[in-house]
A and B are shown apart, each in its own frame.
Chain A
Amino acid sequence: MSWAYVFELIQNIMITQTGIPNLAIKEVFMIGVAFFFLYLAVAKKYEPLLLVPIGFGIFLVNFPLVPLMGFSEHGNPELIRAFYKYGIEWEIIPCVIFLGLGAMTDFGPLIANPKTLVIGAGAQLGVFITYIGVLFFGFTLKEAASVGIIGGADGPTTIYLTAKLAPHLLGANALAAYSYMAMVPLIQPPIMRLMTTPEQRRIKMRQLRPVSAQEKLLFPLIAAILIILLIPAVAPLMGMFMFGNFMRECGVVKRLSDTAQNALMNIVTIFLGLSVGATMQADKFLSWKPLLIFGFGLMDFVVCTFGGILTVHIMNRFLKEKINPLIGSAGVSAVPMSARVSHTEGLKADPDNWLIMHAMGPNLAGVIGSASAAGMFIAMFQ
């Protein structure tokens, strides 16, 4: 055994078995991106529950030679690839998240004021405007639909639709959706102030009527029947959402409801975040496309907010009892951030005007609206 042989052996080991010589600039850049999102999550507390696992997912998969997102020689998925394959490719995790969201949601404000459902529909304007906008940039119809849904401000819906229509855009879309959801308090207020007068912001709304337990119990059944009959493609999302809510309201399966709200939700959030982050490998992610998605995602949010407020203005033309247009912005689903933003803006205009309960109506309608928009897109491409 000569020294030359030993050196060659060491060299081979260095090249084939360690990451250092294989580390490229683009991977270092992506690790930097991961640090940025971890910073946003930890230091700025922007959607930490999602951005921490997403950021860490980006961080992990951008080391060279790591067996995380690939397949083994026998075709078996590696660790995070397995989470991705069975959780996202099979569309399980977004639906399970909807189950948890349903179990967490009190539909009382929406049931008490069903008119707010129309606001939830109006706030989907951005979804469709963006859908057309990105087509001008050469995106395919499926890609355009998956980018458009970002404005619905609903993370699981975005992931569900993107995984179905344009899985190669999953990382960028999910990240854009969650980033902008975290930035709702920054994005929405200027648009809200631009689109309303101080008098309109001071409109006081009548107190919501009390909603009985039976009404709350029947709501998921009625809503599921109507929505699934009209848009069968949305059944996986809406079915799970309403099932979760039914468990909550029926009151006889408190343990299940509690699990769906807490333990199950937390577990799937970990796998969802890691899997989504892991799709952002340098060689796939570093292009102009994600930048465009981020740009259009922002526009999408803006137009959705605009659409919600505009819908309230139109409704006020016909309604005797006026609606405060500030709650229109809550039509983007981002629950409950956008409702809180409406409330805060209302308080700024009149410290005695409490809008939170009123804003929860369009906020919940936004969840149903964005899921419906996703269902429409899925049906379109079937």
Chain B
Amino acid sequence: MNAMAVKFFWRFLGRWRPAVILATALTAAPAAWAAFGEVIEKPVPEFSRLGDRISAKLIPRAKSTSVQIQFSAAGAKLLDVSGMDFEKAERPEVDVKNFKAALFVIHLDSVTPGGEAKVSLTSDFFISSTQFYVFNETLSQPWIISDAVNLTLPDRVQELVVSVKDGGPLDSDGKADGRITLVGGPRDSFWGYALGTLFIRFFGIFIVLSILMLGMIFSGLVFQWLARRKAAGENKKTAAIAPQIKAEPKGPTGNCLDPAAAAAVAIALHLHLGGVHAPPVMDLSGPPPGSWTLHGRAQMMAERMLVFNRKNR
């Protein structure tokens, strides 16, 4: 029965079979290919300390240039910050792609036991929707969204301020001992970014090419106007010269020709006597010519003109 059902379904699909196979592959494959390129793009932060602040320099995922993240603490002493491999914190509920920067292990000291400290992460790499996720493997649900405040500073810099209570759920050491270990990282929506940028950039191309189009239409109009003006000027000149030519008296013998007519006669004689013949005249009557036809005609005319070119002989 099952085989029959499959057979029926297969026949029912008809010409859509390849599409269905592709769709099945598309839905089945992502899990298998989820690790593509991750190793290549793994952020490797380098830390440096300047007074109370620690700075991390790293190339985040989907970026080619490095960014800086500044760490500072209030209500505690910032002891140390280090990077952490995401594999150690990998759980089904989180996707590494959303953590474009890295995971950090932040150690704080000199906290009032059981008291609260504030950790600040400042960078122009963050955006207003960036969140700070905390990983605490001692909890049954190790990943927690911290209620970090995202502040906008001048020069497009964002500051994430995370409040951590000594011995609280965000403190990985779990003890109210005056020391805090905060493990986590800034998180952005991968798909939000991918889709948002897709939209912006696809329409961006339309905008760029439309601006170019407008520029070309405008310059085209200017050039056409200039060409018309030039043609009108030449027409005027011709009109002014023409009566003069008409009015010119003929010579006493009556043998004087104007230069254009003399050249035409000379060329006719040359063609007749020289053995170099132009191709036979083509019949160009018929339907109105298209661009291709006109282009062909222009080429033929250009070829004909070669017989008049005496430069190389």
Interface residues of A (CB under 8 A from B): 110-112, 114-115, 117-118, 120-122, 124-125, 128, 131-133, 135-144, 164-166, 168, 204-205, 207-209, 212, 214-215, 218-219, 222-223, 226-227, 230-231, 288-289, 292, 352-354, 356-358, 365, 368-369, 372-373, 376-377, 380-382
Contacts and interface: CB of A to CB of B under 8 A. Distances in A.
23 contacts: A111-B220, A117-B216, A121-B205, A121-B209, A122-B206, A124-B202, A131-B194, A133-B26, A137-B33, A138-B33, A138-B35, A138-B37, A140-B61, A142-B64, A215-B219, A218-B219, A227-B212, A230-B207, A369-B205, A373-B205, A376-B201, A381-B62, A381-B64
B197 interface: yes
B37 A136 contact: no
B208 interface: yes
Nearest to A353: B290
B147 interface: no
A168 B209 contact: no
A128 B198 contact: yes
Given A165-B64, A376-B204, A382-B64, A136 B30 contact: yes
B62 A140 contact: yes
B208 A227 contact: yes
B64 A207 contact: no
A212 B227 contact: yes
Contact of B41 (A136, A140, A357): A140
Nearest to A135: B194
Given A115-B213, A121-B210, A372-B209, A207 B30 contact: no
A219 B190 CA distance: 40
A207 B290 contact: yes
Contacts of B41: 140, 142
Contacts of B208: 121, 226-227, 230-231, 372
A208 B291 contact: yes
Contacts of B30: 136-138
Interface residues of B, number: 53
Contacts of A380: 62, 197, 201
For chain A, what secondary structure do more than half of its interface residues adopt (helix, strand, loop), or is it mixed?
helix
Contacts of A218: 219
Given A117-B212, A353-B290, 8 more contacts: A111-B220, A138-B32, A140-B36, A140-B62, A141-B194, A231-B208, A365-B209, A376-B205
Contacts of B64: 142, 164-165, 381-382
B154 to A, nearest CB: 22
Contacts of A138: 30, 32-37
A369 B290 contact: no
Given A135-B194, A137-B29, A143-B37, A212 B223 contact: yes
Nearest to B222: A215
Interface string B271-299: 00000000000000001011111110000
B244 interface: no
Interface string B31-65: 01111111011000000000000000000011111
B205 A354 contact: no
Given A142-B62, A376-B205, A114 B217 contact: yes
* 9 residue pairs, one from A and one from B, having the closest CB atoms: A354-B292, A140-B37, A114-B216, A138-B33, A141-B62, A138-B34, A354-B290, A138-B36, A376-B201
B211 interface: yes
A139 B61 CA distance: 12
